[in-house]
Amino acid sequence: MSDTEYAPSSRTWVREQVETIEATGTTASVDIMGLPVVLLTMRGAKSGKIRKVPLMRVEHEGRYAVVGSQGGAPTNPQWVSNVRANPHLTLQDGTTVTDRVAREVSGEERATWWERCVAAYPPYAEYQTKTDRLIPIFVLEPA
């Protein structure tokens, strides 16, 4: 994804965490509430620019899930639109970077992944109670 200009996040905490990960070469250099994160790199849906966001680490048997919670806000975080428009992305976990394809899950598969997501980051359960939208979950499988 290096063929397009990188556009840093307008959110200070996101921008600072991405800068730290890039400076150290590992996602282990940052956390959210003391819990591990992964770094998602994707193409912007509208701009086509490279976007990066640290998200909670939810991994099961080599597959990862990312959760569009935005703390239970009434709208999805911007990265959700990006992933829906451009599901081919890269994922960094520690120092390992892999190409992935994102797939939004629903039904029983979503319920199974939701349990895994809440186990990895318990505040997700509270976030869902704060919003009327169903918080989207994407499973990232090897490309």
Beta bridge pairs of residue 89: 100
CATH number of residue 111's parent domain: 2.30.110.10
Q: Residue 135 corresponds to which amino acid?
A: I
Give the residue numbers spanning the domain of 25.
Answer: 12-142
pLDDT at 117: 98
pLDDT tens string for the chain (143 positions)?
556 799 999 999 999 999 999 999 999 999 999 999 999 999 999 999 999 999 999 999 999 999 999 999 999 999 999 999 999 999 999 999 999 999 999 999 999 999 999 999 999 999 999 999 999 999 999 99
Does residue 4 lie in a domain region?
A: no
Does residue 5 lie in a domain region?
A: no
User: What's the whole-model pTM score?
Assistant: 0.94
Task: Provide the number of structural domains found in the chain.
Answer: 1
Per DSSP, the chain holds a count of helices (H) and strands (E) of 4, 7
Does residue 125 lie in a domain region?
A: yes
Positive/negative CA dihedral, 73, 74, 80, 82: negative
pLDDT at 4: 73
Beta bridge pairs of residue 6: 50
Does residue 130 lie in a domain region?
A: yes
Does residue 7 lie in a domain region?
A: no
User: Integer distance in angstroms from the first to the last C-alpha of the chain?
Assistant: 14
pLDDT at 60: 97
